Amino acid sequence: MVDVFGLENLSRWVGLNDKRDPQKDRLSKFQPISQPRPKKVALALGGGAALGWAHIGFLQVLKEHKLIPDMVVGTSIGAIAGAAFASDRLNELESFARSLTPRKMLTWMDFSLARGGLINGEKLAKELHNHFGNSKIEDLAIPFYCVATDLMTGEEVWFNKGDLVSAVRASYAIPGVFVPVKTGNRWLVDGGLTNPLPVSAARHFGADKVIAIMLDDHWKNRGSIVETGSIAPSFEATSNLLSDIHFPFFSKGSSNDNNEKPKLYRVIIRSISIGQEKLSELQLSRFPPDLLIAPRLAGIEPFEFYKARTLIHRGRQAALLNLPQLEEMLSPDAIDDISHDESLEDISS
């Protein structure tokens, strides 16, 4: 039975009473902390569908340099990557991501138009179980939290204990695409609807400093007039391939062709993305992170999960470009020298 508690009429929690010490149960292969950091540092991983494969590359660099945060908070695809990192299964997630091709993506889509979503999601859930088993959130080596949304009330839901796969599955359940996930007496969907960049959740769970990874590198240019770019050839080729085998969610031809009526998947994803982008802007002003990193992801569509190689590389680039700042915040002897005045600087540019 999952307990759900209210939080000042703004958010809801699943499993509130978490008594873990965030300094305990570190992964043995990670470099031990020689002395406690003066501040608890959290990693907030934003949502963005396929763009989230960039999180893998970013997290790989942290692991390689033994820069381990005190906690990880994820939304949607950020929850998947965060769970893999916190449970030391990042390599498995990378292998899965790199194995995806346009045709293989179809094998993971168990269509179910009569159950509240285009895709039932049981096949993907089974794959998650293959990687995570019956892991509990409270047993992970690094404290982990993820965000979902109550479909009926619109409330934000924070998971900090219980079945890891169920929590992650709820966090990425894009409404209209995936069937909602039943948790207790709630139907849960994608956390990106209420908190696409979970800095506020990280603060609540005790983070003094937050490093946020945002999967939208256009956030500083809202309202600008820009020329319509040309479509990436790889997407055009894939669109033609999938249309030929009667896959109904990919439109044939250019995704930027305004003369052609958008297909269903594009309407759903772009509508959600627009809302999340606007909400992220608002949240950045209300809950600024101490370090904001936005990998360069322009030119890649949110459903191009088969572009893992490029996305992982760009995530690594973003981490390496910001490595000095990351070391200042995450090294064992890090000092408190990053102020909120610098928090919205896009230092990946």
The amino acid sitting at 46 is G
Q: Write down the pLDDT at residue 301.
A: 84
In the chain, what percentage of residues exceed pLDDT 90?
Answer: 50
pLDDT band with cut points at 50, 70 and 90 for residue 57: very high
Over residues 216-244, the mean pLDDT reads 37
Q: Write down the pLDDT at residue 259.
A: 67
pLDDT, the chain, mean = 77
Q: Which of 205, 339, 190, 203 is nearest to 279 (CA)?
A: 190
Q: Write down the pLDDT at residue 116.
A: 77
Q: Write down the pLDDT at residue 270.
A: 66
Residue 342, CA atoms < 13 Å, CB-side half-sphere: 11
Residue 78: its H or E element: helix 77-86
Condensed to tens digits (0 to 9), the pLDDT of residues 73-102 reads 999 999 999 999 999 999 999 999 999 998
Condensed to tens digits (0 to 9), the pLDDT of residues 6-36 reads 333 334 444 433 444 544 444 444 454 445 5
Over residues 279-300, the mean pLDDT reads 88
The amino acid sitting at 162 is G
Q: Write down the pLDDT at residue 26.
A: 46
Q: Which of 138, 107, 193, 184 is nearest to 21 (CA)?
A: 138
Residue 344 Cα to chain centre, angstroms: 19
3-state secondary structure of 60: helix
Q: How far is CA 310 from CA 1, 58, 186, 253, 325, in A?
A: 42, 13, 37, 22, 24
Q: Write down the pLDDT at residue 10.
A: 36
Q: Is the pTM of this model over 0.85?
A: no
* DSSP secondary structure, 266-289, as one string: HHHHHHHHHHHHHHHHHHHHHS--
Q: Write down the pLDDT at residue 171.
A: 97
How far apart CA 220 and CA 118 sit, in angstroms, is 33
Residues marked as catalytic: 76, 190
Asked whether residue 123 carries a pLDDT value surpassing 70, the answer given is yes
Are the C-beta atoms of 171 and 79 separated by less than 8 Å?
yes
Over residues 235-259, the mean pLDDT reads 39
Over residues 244-260, the mean pLDDT reads 44
DSSP letter at 20 equals -
Over residues 279-292, the mean pLDDT reads 87
pLDDT: is 272 or 18 the higher one?
272
Over residues 101-118, the mean pLDDT reads 78
pLDDT: is 231 or 80 the higher one?
80
pLDDT band with cut points at 50, 70 and 90 for residue 72: very high
Q: Write down the pLDDT at residue 38.
A: 57
